[in-house]
Amino acid sequence: MATLRFNAIKQTLKRKPVKVSEPERRSEVFGKNVFGEQAMRQYLTKDSFNSVMEAIDKGTKIDRNLADHISTGMKEWAISKGATHYTHWFQPLTGSTAEKHDAFFETVGDGRAIEKFNGGQLVQQEPDASSLPHGGIRNTFEARGYTAWDPTSPAFIWGTTLCIPTIFVSYTGEALDYKTPLLRSLSALDKAATDVAKYFDKKVSKVTATLGWEQEYFLIDSALVSSRPDLLMSGRTLLGHSPAKGQQLDDHYFGSIPTRVLNYMRDLETQCMYLGIPVKTRHNEVAPNQFELAPIFEEANLAVDHNSLLMEVMHKTAERHHFAVLFHEKPFANVNGSGKHNNWSLATDTGSNLLSPSKKPMKNLQFLTFFVNTIKAFHDHEELMRATIASASNDHRLGANEAPPAIMSVFIGSQLTKVLDELEKVTDGKLSPEEKTDLKLNVVGKIPEILLDNTDRNRTSPFAFTGNKFELRAVGSTANCADPMTLLNAIVAKQLKEFKAEVDALIAKKMKKDDAIFNVLREYIKASKKIRFEGDGYGKAWEEEAAKRGLSNNKTTPIALQPKISHQAKTLYSGLQIMNEREVVARYEIEIEDYAKEIQIEGRALGDIARNHVIPTAIKYQNVLIKNVRGLKELYGESFMSKAQEQMNIIDAISTHIERINASIEEMIEARKKANNLEDATQKAFAYCDEVKPHFETIRYHCDKLELLVDDELWPLTKYREMLFTR
C-alpha cells in the first residue's frame, strides 16, 4: 500500500484512548482560571472592584489610577495560578484569535528582576499587527492599530498566560476586529429594547442579548488528516469517492460515543470548566465522526468570546488525543456538513426573557411585541442576513439538502401562526372594549407557556422560533458568531426604535397604549408575512414559491456579499453608530478577497494532488494491466483477446480519465490566470466563482472514478471510509 496512507492507518489502528483526569465535581473548578467576580473580590480593593463592576453594568470608563490597582491585583492572581506571561487577546478579521505574549518579568538593574504589569499594559497595547487584515483602513504611514481592554469579558488564564479580552481598533478608532461592532450593537440594542420594555415594566433599565451557540465539528485521527494534503491545505477533502456506507443508517447519531472520542470530550470539557465556558451538552451528530458541543447561554459578547476560545481549546486538546478537529462546513462531500446554530434572545435586568410567552396576558403583549418586531426586522434585512453568513466554505452547506437553504425565512410554528393571523384582523384605530377583552382572553391570553411546536420544530428553517428564543441555523461552523449577532442586534435595535416612534405617535394622538401597540403590530405582521414559511425548506417547491414572494436566493458568496455594501447596510450601521461607511466597506473588501483566495488555494491544491498523486498512481496501475495483457498474449497467442477484454477496457478508461483530468486542469489554470489579472476584488471573486470553481467538479469526478478502478493497494490518498470509520 502507498506508504503515507498505509502508515497513517496503521498508526490509527494502534491508538488507545488517552487517560484523562477530571475533577470530582465540575462545579468546584468552574471558572477557576477566570478573573471573575470572586477572584476580583479577593484581589482588588473595594474601589477597584466597584469600578470594574460599574464598567460592566453601565459601560463607564475606568479611572487610570484605579487601572494600576486593577492590573496589580490581576497580576498577583495570575501569578498565584502559575501564569508567567500576559497577552491582549483579540479577534481580528482573520477568523481566529490573535495574541502576543509578554512576560511579567522585568529587570530593574543591579542584576535584580521583578514581576511587573501596570495599568497601562492592562488598558492598552500596540500589537505588531501589520499582517492582520484591515480592508484599507490602516494605510501604510499609519499602519498601527491598538488593542483596548474590554472589562465586560473577564480575563482568563490559558496555559501559563493571562489573556485579557480586548477590542482591536485603528488609531483613528475604526474597528479592525469582530468585537468592536458587536459591543456597539449590543449597546444600541440595549437602549432601543429598554425603551420598549418600559411600556410593560417601568423597572427595566437594561436589556442584554443572550446567545447560546451549538458547535458542530468532525474529529478525525491526526495521522489520517496528515495523510491528506487537501485537508491540510483547505480544510476539506477536494476529492475522494463516497464510501459504500455513509450516514444512511443513522447509526452514528443514535450510537454511543466511541471511548477515544469520549475521553477527548471529557478532557475538553474539563478545560472549559476551568475557563468558565459553561458547556453542557455533547452528542454524536448525523455524519460518522461528527459531533456537537453546546453550552448554557450567556450574554452575547461573552458567549462570542467563549466560542472563539473554545475553538482554540478544541484544537489544542485534540493534539493530546491524536485527533484533528475539522471545523469546515463541508469536509466530506455527500456527508452531512457542520453548522453553528446561534440561539438568540433578549434578557432584562429584572430577570425576564422578552421572547418568552407567559401565563399572564399582559406579559404576552410584551412577548408579542418583541416577537413581531424581530420577525419584521428579519424580513426587512433578509438579504443582509444571508450576507453575514456567506463564506466560500458555507456555500457548500447552504442549500445542500441537509442545511438551511440560501433563502432566508422564519419558522414560528402553527400555534403562533394562528395568533398572528388573529392579530392581523385587529380593528384599525381604537379597539372596542369587547374586542380588547376577546383579544386578551382568546388570542393573547391563549398563548401557551410551552409551545407544542417547540418539540416538532422545523429543522429546515434558517431562522426558527424555538419556544423562548430564535435560532439562527445558517451560521457556518467555522464562523465567528459576532458578525451575524451584530447584524441581528442592529436590525432589531433599528426596528424597535421605529416601533417606539410609531406607538408614541399614536399615543400622542390620544390612543391608548395597548391599542396603539396592537395597531402597529398588525401592520408589521402584514408587512412581514412573506418571510414566514412553515414548510419544507429543502424542497424545490420552496425555491419557486420564495421567488414568487420576492425573497432573495443568493447561492454563492460573491452574490450574497453584495448587500453588505448596499445603501441599506451603510445607513443601518452608521445610523446606530455601529460602523461608519469606511468600516462597512473594509469588511466587505476583506471578505470578498478571502473568497477569491480560498478558491485559489483549493484550485492549486486540487491540481497538484490530481497531477502528483492521482495520475501517477493511475499510470502505475495501468502499467500493471498492460504487463498482464502482454503476458496473456504470450500464453494464449492470437486468442488472448477474449481473456484480456476487461483489462483492455480498464486501460482505456484510465487513459480517458487521465486525459479529462489534464484537460480540466489546463482550463482551470487558464481561468486562474485570467482571474488573477483582474484588479478589482469583486470581479476577481466572481471570476473565481464562475470560471475557476466549476472545473473542480470535473477534475474530482474523474479522480474519484480512478479511485474506484485502481488497485486499493496502490491508492495514495486515505479513503473516505478510512477517515470516517477508523477510530
Q: Residues in the site for ligand ADP, rule: CB under 6 A?
A: 210-212, 214, 281, 294-297, 341, 343-345, 353, 468-469
- Least distance to ligand ADP from the beta carbon of 415, Å? 18
Residue 657: which of ligand ADP, Mg ion, none does it interact with, CB under 5 to 8 A by kind? none
Residue 210: which of ligand ADP, Mg ion, none does it interact with, CB under 5 to 8 A by kind? ligand ADP
Phi, psi of 715 (to 5 degrees): -60, 125
Q: Between 303 and 506, whose beta carbon lies closer to Mg ion?
A: 303
Q: Between 466 and 718, whose beta carbon lies closer to ligand ADP?
A: 466
Q: Which of 336, 318, 335, 328 is nearest to 260 (CA)?
A: 318
Q: Is 4 helix (H, G, I), strand (E, B) or coil?
A: helix
- Least distance to ligand ADP from the beta carbon of 461, Å? 12
Question: Do the beta carbons of residue 584 and residue 565 sit within 8 Å?
Answer: yes
- Least distance to ligand ADP from the beta carbon of 115, Å? 39
Q: Which of 716, 692, 719 is nearest to 612 (CA)?
A: 716
Q: Between 461 and 519, whose beta carbon lies closer to Mg ion?
A: 461
Cell of 204: 427595566
Cell of 666: 489546463
Residue 211: which of Mg ion, ligand ADP, none does it interact with, CB under 5 to 8 A by kind? ligand ADP
Residue 212: which of Mg ion, ligand ADP, none does it interact with, CB under 5 to 8 A by kind? ligand ADP
Separation of alpha carbons 652 and 439, rounded Å: 76
- Least distance to ligand ADP from the beta carbon of 374, Å? 13
Residue 294: which of Mg ion, ligand ADP, none does it interact with, CB under 5 to 8 A by kind? ligand ADP
Q: Between 166 and 210, whose beta carbon lies closer to ligand ADP?
A: 210
Residue 194: which of ligand ADP, Mg ion, none does it interact with, CB under 5 to 8 A by kind? none
- Least distance to ligand ADP from the beta carbon of 214, Å? 6
Q: Between 341 and 396, whose beta carbon lies closer to Mg ion?
A: 341
Q: Between 291 and 720, whose beta carbon lies closer to Mg ion?
A: 291
The one-letter amino acid at 458: N
Separation of alpha carbons 156 and 87, rounded Å: 10
Q: What is the CB neighbour count within 10 angstroms for residue 139?
A: 9
Q: Which residues contact 555 (CB under 8 A, 6 or more apart)?
A: 395, 398, 399, 406
Q: Between 341 and 397, whose beta carbon lies closer to ligand ADP?
A: 341
Q: Which residues contact 222 (CB under 8 A, 6 or more apart)?
A: 318, 319, 322, 323, 324
251 conformational bin, left if phi > 0, alpha if psi -120 to 50, beta if neither:
alpha
- Least distance to ligand ADP from the beta carbon of 295, Å? 6
Residue 483: which of Mg ion, ligand ADP, none does it interact with, CB under 5 to 8 A by kind? none
- Least distance to ligand ADP from the beta carbon of 611, Å? 44
Q: Between 484 and 558, whose beta carbon lies closer to Mg ion?
A: 484
> Which residues would be at the binding site for Mg ion (CB under 5 A)?
214, 341
Residue 284: which of Mg ion, ligand ADP, none does it interact with, CB under 5 to 8 A by kind? none
Q: Between 365 and 475, whose beta carbon lies closer to Mg ion?
A: 475
Q: Between 31 and 462, whose beta carbon lies closer to Mg ion?
A: 462
Q: Which residues contact 147 (CB under 8 A, 6 or more apart)?
A: 88, 90, 124, 125, 126, 127, 166, 167, 168
- Least distance to ligand ADP from the beta carbon of 502, Å? 27
Residue 468: which of Mg ion, ligand ADP, none does it interact with, CB under 5 to 8 A by kind? ligand ADP
> What ranges in 397-512 are assigned the alpha helix state H?
414-423, 433-438, 482-508
Separation of alpha carbons 286 and 292, rounded Å: 10
Question: Do the beta carbons of residue 219 and residue 262 sit within 8 Å?
Answer: no
Residue with nearest beta carbon to ligand ADP:
212
- Least distance to Mg ion from the beta carbon of 280, Å? 13
Cell of 688: 473565481
- Least distance to ligand ADP from the beta carbon of 355, Å? 7
Residue with nearest beta carbon to Mg ion:
341
The DSSP result for 318-378, as a single string, is HHHTTEEEE--S-SSTTS---BEEEEEEEEETTS-BTT---SSHHHHHHHHHHHHHHHHHH
